[in-house]
Amino acid sequence: MENIKIKDKEFKPLIDSARIQTRITELAIELNSDLKGKNPLFLAILNGAFIFAADLMKGISIDCEISFVKLASYKGTKSSGSVLTLIGLDEDVNDRNIIIIEDIVDTGNTMTELLPKFNVFSPRSIKIATMFFKPAALVNPIKPDYVGFEIGNEFIVGYGLDYEGLGRNLNDVFVAI
């Protein structure tokens, strides 16, 4: 695989699509076994998780539901606290086993804002499945339950992840150099 350039940045290959697919098959096997009989509700976080969610679901053979939500930032007053609002959650999450599907957990700020939004409901359980995880960048006590790949504290594109809107469509993952 060759290096690519997106806007001003050069990227080199990090993880090819075959490795990604192999890992997703393993994750799906784990989820099928952990969630059998629990009719889980997968909640994929747009935009980044759309490809991971689609590929993962192809390997899920148990009864389950999937829905797509988005975190939108809004201009709130400082005192209002949260800066992200959850949109698109139309399902009743009470008593459900929720699996959040994320593209990447970096600082963990997004998950730290998202998880309390479920406090007004009574889900049976909430787990996080993320394709990529940067343990060295984490600044919050977030521990993803299912991780595709742990990577270093570096910037990646491809497989749903973008650099300034570009690169989400790449089948392989590249890292900034």
Active-site amino acid positions: 106
From 107, 25, 88, 95, select the one nearest 61 (Cα to Cα).
25
| Three-state secondary-structure class, residue 112 | helix
* 55: contact with ligand IMP by CB under 6 A: no
For the record, the structure tokens of 152 come out as 């270093």
- Binding ligand IMP by CB under 6 A: which of 6, 55, 96, 103? 103
* 48: contact with Mg ion by CB under 5 A: yes
For the beta sheet containing 156-157, the strands, ordered from the edge strand earlier in sequence to the opposite edge, are 4-6, 9-15, 173-176, 156-157
**Beta strand residue intervals within 47-124, DSSP E:** 65-73, 84-87, 97-105
- Binding ligand IMP by CB under 6 A: which of 41, 93, 100, 161? 161
Contact partner, 6, from ligand IMP, Mg ion, none, Cβ < 5-8 Å per class: none
CA 171 to chain centre: 16
Contact partner, 106, from Mg ion, ligand IMP, none, Cβ < 5-8 Å per class: ligand IMP
* 155: contact with ligand IMP by CB under 6 A: yes
* 158: contact with ligand IMP by CB under 6 A: no
Is 37 or 165 the residue whose CB approaches ligand IMP more closely?
Answer: 165
- Binding ligand IMP by CB under 6 A: which of 66, 109, 118, 121? 109
* 82: contact with ligand IMP by CB under 6 A: no
Rama region for 54: left / alpha / beta (φ>0; ψ in -120 to 50; rest): alpha
